[in-house]
């Protein structure tokens, strides 16, 4: 299916809690990969590039075996999408194959550059995790928190001089980096001409708590929202 494979380093990550698995997330217990595909028509793409009209974001998510597990649809205002850029508020409704909403991603509006928070709910209305973007002058850094708002691990994108023709790798790191020395997973935005044809590839330990797996999916959507122009700017500029 993919050239990306998870590493075996699972130290310093949250352990699964088999007695508190949210309803309808049981299918995630054996999952160690997500392939996220963004659905956008050519008309929507060129309307965004030429006129600045940003469409509603739509995604579907496959597991490592190629089975579709989720569909994601954005709920936001047209004016917010077009004029508020990545500071806009939005809700993402994540539904399973029976069209039942099993996860809800809530991002409030923000007027502070670099400050973002995403709440992950499952079932909708019950928080199971948070993703916060940490302000940094030049790096993309996020903190993943549990349902109590306690930090669980970090997501960091190493600085790369030229980003035009490379994969964009967001490393999942323990809070105690000195104890692990390397990441235990990744969120990858593949370069479009090589690797996977997915818009994002996520891999993580299979024994990671399902709440954290759902929160990682939310982190991917937040990254696509707030870091959009980081990896699209060269492409957009070449089309204008």
CA distance 83 to 80: 5
Q: How many of the other CB atoms lie within 10 Å of CB of 230?
A: 14
Residue whose entry in the numeric block shows the structure tokens 């309803």: 23
Q: If we measure between CA atoms, which residue out of 81, 43, 74 comes closest to residue 57?
A: 74
Region 70-86: mean pLDDT is 74
Residue 128, C-beta contacts closer than 8 angstroms, at least 6 positions apart: 22, 120, 121, 122, 146, 147, 211, 214, 215
Residue whose entry in the numeric block shows the structure tokens 């996220």: 36
pLDDT tens figures, 2-27: 455 554 444 445 555 555 677 689 88
pLDDT of residue 236: 38
Residue whose entry in the numeric block shows the structure tokens 């982190």: 219
Annotated domain spans of the chain: 31-239
CATH topology classification for 31-239: Porin (2.40.160)
pLDDT tens figures, 177-196: 655 567 899 999 987 655 56
Claim: this prediction has a pTM higher than 0.85: no
pLDDT tens figures, 200-211: 999 999 999 999
Residue whose entry in the numeric block shows the structure tokens 């028509």: 41
Q: Across the chain, what does the average pLDDT equal?
A: 79
Q: Is 23 helix (H, G, I), strand (E, B) or coil?
A: coil
């Amino acid at each position: 299916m993919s050239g990306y494979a998870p590493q075996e380093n699972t130290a310093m990550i949250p352990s699964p809690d088999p007695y508190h698995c949210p309803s309808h997330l049981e299918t995630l217990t054996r999952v160690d990969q997500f392939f996220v595909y963004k659905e956008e028509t050519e008309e929507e793409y060129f309307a965004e590039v030429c006129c600045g009209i940003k469409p509603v974001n739509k995604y579907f998510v496959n597991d490592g075996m190629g089975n579709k597990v989720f569909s994601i649809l954005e709920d936001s205002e047209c004016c917010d999408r077009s004029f508020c850029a990545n500071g806009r508020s939005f809700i993402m409704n994540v539904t399973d194959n029976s069209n039942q909403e099993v996860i809800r991603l809530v991002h409030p509006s923000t007027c502070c550059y670099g400050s973002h928070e995403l709440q992950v709910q499952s079932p909708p209305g019950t928080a199971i995790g948070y993703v916060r973007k940490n302000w940094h002058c030049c790096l993309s850094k996020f903190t993943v928190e549990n349902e109590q708002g306690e930090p669980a691990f970090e997501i960091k994108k190493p600085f790369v001089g030229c980003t035009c023709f490379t994969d964009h790798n967001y490393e999942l790191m323990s809070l105690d980096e000195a104890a692990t020395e390397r990441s235990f997973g990744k969120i990858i935005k593949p370069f479009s001409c090589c690797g996977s044809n997915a818009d994002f590839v996520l891999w993580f330990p299979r024994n990671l708590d399902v709440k954290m797996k759902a929160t990682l999916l939310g982190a991917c959507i937040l990254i696509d929202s707030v870091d959009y122009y980081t990896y699209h700017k060269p492409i957009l500029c070449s089309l204008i």
